[in-house]
Amino acid sequence: MNVHEYQAKEMLARFGVPVPKGGLATTPQEAAGVARELGAPAFVVKAQVHAGGRGKAGGVKVCKSVDEVQAAAQAILGMHLISHQTGPEGKLVRKVWVEAATEIARELYVAVVLDRGAERLAVMASPDGGMDIEEVAAATPERIFSTRIDPGQPLWDFQCRQLLFGCGLDAAQVRQGTGLLQALVELATAKDATQVEINPLAVTAQGKLVALDAKINFDDSGLRRNPDVAALKDPTETDELELAATELGLNYIRLEGNVGTMVNGAGLAMATMDVIKMAGAQPANFLDVGGGASEEMITKGFEIILDDPKVEAILINIFGGILRCDVLAAGVVGAARKMDLKVPLVVRLEGTNVAEGRRILDESGLNFSVAGSMSEAAAKVAQVLEGAA
């Protein structure tokens, strides 16, 4: 789960990481009020959306006065911010964070990330903060320093010194930075974060370290034991179809392609997406309806698939075990009637009550084709799409 910059900064502050003072606003007037309260010589108005690259996209503005803050908030609120992380449709800005501007001497990059391959946390630092760290990694990888934390051990001071002297900090800054990196690791461990990234970590004109940006990603599986983190979820940042599916207890993830899929079992769903790709088509979603799905859940799940305007064909791949084929068929027929199904449907049914399931589909008057195997199903979907094109 992602959170906004302001939420990440509030959490960083709780762990002792210095961040600029600021406040949240949803209107230009509120933004001006926050600035007046801060009373700083300069301010920064920052779009709060779940995406990076806001600076280049016009979502971060430095302001010299309260009036400028109000004007900047006016411009940023309601804009569709388009950056390399948002996709072409951009993200609607509903909130801005107004904070005191920092006089920046240098911008560094620091992060704690879960290194899944190494099965431990990795800590990274680079003197080239502020810009795309991916570019630094590609062009000058020797300017990114990293170290890994042994499970059950802390991040040791000597590891921090290696990273921070590598970034060209002086002794006092290395001392401050050591505490800061250790705080990031504590946060990641305590809150089940898979990424805590500060870019930039500013060295101020006074030589102090301050986190000017913050991105934290939390492991969804840890949310149960971190209710304070779960409470930070912003539903407006979540895909509305994914949100609807979550409420139904369905495992649905929206993808880029045009073949809607409904499958029972996550493994079978992954394999189904693979065969669709192998047949030359692209899945529009992952959907695991699970074992215990009711007819109503199938109907709702099918509606969610059809609510995605990209969907031009649907493949249903069910191996009836706990989920019976007749329940699945009844659910699909119910949804297809309600939604006036216009896209071609390919069905592969096997397992418990398969004959009854086929009968329900046959007698429904729906236009669908039956496939005997997974690869046949995928080939049929690819064929109908080619035919349509």
Q: Residue 193 or residue 212: which is nearer to ligand ADP going by CB?
A: 212
Interface residues with Mg ion (CB under 5 A)?
199, 213
Binding site partner of 295, from Mg ion, ligand ADP, none, Cβ cut-off 5-8 A by kind: none
Task: Tell me how far, at minimum, the Cβ of 296 lies from ligand ADP, in Å.
Answer: 42
Task: Tell me how far, at minimum, the Cβ of 68 lies from ligand ADP, in Å.
Answer: 14
Q: Residue 21 or residue 338: which is nearer to ligand ADP going by CB?
A: 21
Mapped onto helix, strand or coil, the DSSP state of residue 167 is coil
What residues are paired with 216 via a beta bridge? 196
Strand segments, DSSP code E, in the chain are 22-25, 43-47, 60-63, 80-81, 91-92, 96-100, 104-115, 120-126, 145-148, 193-204, 209-211, 215-218, 251-254, 259-263, 285-288, 313-320, 345-351, 368-370
Strand segments, DSSP code E, in 127-208 are 145-148, 193-204
- Alpha-carbon distance of 242 to 285, in angstroms, equals 10
- Alpha-carbon distance of 11 to 66, in angstroms, equals 27
Binding site partner of 285, from ligand ADP, Mg ion, none, Cβ cut-off 5-8 A by kind: none
Binding site partner of 9, from Mg ion, ligand ADP, none, Cβ cut-off 5-8 A by kind: none
Instruction: List the catalytic residue out of 197, 237, 295, 312.
Output: 197
Does 6 qualify as catalytic in the annotation? no
Q: Residue 9 or residue 191: which is nearer to ligand ADP going by CB?
A: 9
Q: Residue 91 or residue 380: which is nearer to ligand ADP going by CB?
A: 91
Asked if residue 108 lies in contact with residue 203, where contact means CB atoms within 8 angstroms, the answer is yes
Does 109 qualify as catalytic in the annotation? yes
Virtual torsion, Cα 296, 240, 337, 263, nearest 10 deg: -60
Instruction: List the catalytic residue out of 5, 99, 109, 252.
Output: 109
Binding site partner of 201, from ligand ADP, Mg ion, none, Cβ cut-off 5-8 A by kind: none
- Alpha-carbon distance of 194 to 298, in angstroms, equals 33
Contacting residues for 310 by C-beta, under 8 A, at least 6 apart: 256, 257, 258, 284
Interface residues with ligand ADP (CB under 6 A)?
20, 44, 46, 52-55, 60, 99, 101-102, 104, 107, 130, 199-200, 212-213
Task: Tell me how far, at minimum, the Cβ of 122 lies from Mg ion, in Å.
Answer: 19
Task: Tell me how far, at minimum, the Cβ of 110 lies from Mg ion, in Å.
Answer: 12
Q: Residue 81 or residue 329: which is nearer to Mg ion going by CB?
A: 81
Task: Tell me how far, at minimum, the Cβ of 77 lies from ligand ADP, in Å.
Answer: 16
Asked if residue 209 lies in contact with residue 18, where contact means CB atoms within 8 angstroms, the answer is yes
**Known catalytic residues?**
109, 197
